[in-house]
Structure 1
Amino acid sequence: MNIENNPLIQPSAASLARASLGLTAIALGLCGLLYSAAAAGLGQALFPDQANGSMIVENDRILGSSLVAQPFAQAKYFHPRPSAANYDPMAMAGSNLARTNPELHKAVEERLKRIAAQEQVAEERIPADLVTASGSGIDPEISAASALIQVRRVAEARHLPEQAVLDLVQQQTIQPDWGVLGKARVNVLELNLALDRMQ
């Protein structure tokens, strides 16, 4: 008896197609629909602020997200890290330039000179995060040291006492997680909004 040609042992092409389509439909239903709906629902129930993008809303107007950097350039505002993505969340990316790349060295040197002149500090005092872009290109935070070297400029531009601006930076400083992970940092958007409210 030839097993290969026996219709009782070998499934037909139609039954194979039916089984494949059925498995595909079940996988899409479970993984593509039910799992996604459950994860989204759980996120909304447990972490509604984060699930909705951590939006900052004032007077029914969205001012931005605490998770996304914005390009502040005016002297009266604290400035964020440089962005290789031009602060665009849809184009998040680092510069992808190696540490030995001459273009990166040139960009860092230019930023050092500009910031040293702008903040009236020596180049060696400028923290690395003010002259290098983050991996995402939209990092919303700068180190506390990066905020502190901007205090004088912001205070002068706003005609405020330096101590008042310094106190605000200290209030807005986020300490390392659990006291050991990361370093003291400041969310630039939240700090600038607090400055505007102060005036």
Structure 2
Amino acid sequence: MHPCEVAGMQYITPINHHFTNFNLPQNTLDSFMTNSATFFPSHAPPPHPLNFQHLHQELLTPTPSYLSTNSTSDDADDHHNQHNSLADERRRRRMISNRESARRSRMRKQRQLDDLFAHVVHLRSANHQLIDDLNHVIKDHSRILQENARLREEATSLENKLRLLQIDHQNDSETQST
């Protein structure tokens, strides 16, 4: 540990004013206790009344192994490895879940594309059928217009012949009467 690093520190929480132990080494505690005047000079009262004897005793009290930072590196490594393995397992499950979700999404999109393609094929077929029907109707319309024109000409021709016959008949009647 470097001189500028702090292994641990004890502090008072602002809410319940209980001491929390961060396991400072004994020589650091002794130094802190003897140099407490540096933190709380005699001309200024301390910010909170502290009982340094109680503080010193509190710091010397051993902490449970699950809170201790002085546990063996194997315990810390096991805890770290267990935490990492849990995080890795969560990450692996999330990755598998994401892959499955992406696969389902791709399948859903493919089904939608297939459905749309089938719909396009159906609409194109219906469009071709409608175009064929329209062409048939246009041809029939053209044929009917031609037939109608021919019938009009024939009707006009017959009307002309009828008039001529009527005129001839009138002329014949007039000639017979004279």
Both structures adopt the same fold (TM-score exceeding 0.5): no
Comparing both structures, which one devotes a greater share of its residues to helix? 2
**What TM bracket, shorter-length normalisation?**
under 0.3
TM-score, normalising length: structure 1: 0.21
Between the two structures, name the one with larger relative contact order (CA 8 Å, sep ≥ 6): 1
